[in-house]
Amino acid sequence: MFKLIKKLSLFTSLFLITLALLEYVDVTSKPLPTVAGVSQSLPNIKPPEYTTVFSALPSQKTDIITSVKTADARAEILRQYLARYESPLEPLADLIVQVADENDFDYRWMVAIAQQESNLCKRIPEDSYNCWGWGIYGDKVTRFDSFEEAIRRIAPQFKEIFLQDNHSKDPFKVMRTYTPPSDGSWAAGINQFFTELQ
């Protein structure tokens, strides 16, 4: 294809040069060679005032159409994080972000607490779907019908009880009411998981 275009380009160039020369050479003023039986008179040809050049290849209009779909990066970051730890919460990444937004708090709280309390739902009381240690005291276990129900029910209560005033960004302040017996390791873990989710 490239060779054909190159040849056509060369042909077009030669054609244009020939036309340009014809405009400046008066072919009627030169003596013609004598050929037996052929008239030596040529019609008076006037050079054209302009030259029309036809392209050998038709012009092509190429449209490039792009489509960009935007998505919330937080949900994708969270999905990848949960997949790395093989957490059953992975399919609920969008829901976790959505519920946190609805309740006006950082979505990382739900994941960081689940990581600290249950290794992202791998160590929970049987059939409880309770990855957050929510309402678990000794033999008392708060149970939910699914992880989705747990997220939807815990999030608004978590915001109301634990994320008041300046608590919203300080795991050490939340720790005092969420898990008072902790020696600080709970808050340190939450801080670490927050950093991993950035």
Domain boundaries, the chain: 1-55, 73-196
> What pLDDT was estimated at residue 137?
81
Q: What is the pTM assigned to this prediction?
A: 0.61
From residue 131, how far is each of 23, 48, 52, 151, 165 by CA, in Å?
90, 89, 80, 9, 25
Cα–Cα dist 48/20, whole Å? 10
> What pLDDT was estimated at residue 169?
73
73-196: which CATH topology?
Lysozyme (1.10.530)
> What pLDDT was estimated at residue 178?
86
> What pLDDT was estimated at residue 77?
92
DSSP-assigned states of every residue in 71-84: --HHHHHHHHHHHH
Mean pLDDT of successive 10-residue segments in the chain (198 residues)?
63 67 55 57 59 58 63 87 96 96 92 93 94 88 95 93 72 85 89 87
> What pLDDT was estimated at residue 177?
82
**Dihedral Cα 43, 47, 49, 52, nearest 10 deg:** 100
Cα–Cα dist 92/95, whole Å? 5
> What pLDDT was estimated at residue 139?
85
**Based on C-alpha coordinates, what's the Rg of the chain?**
40
> What pLDDT was estimated at residue 47?
58
Q: Which helix (H) or strand (E) segment is 189 a member of?
A: helix 185-196
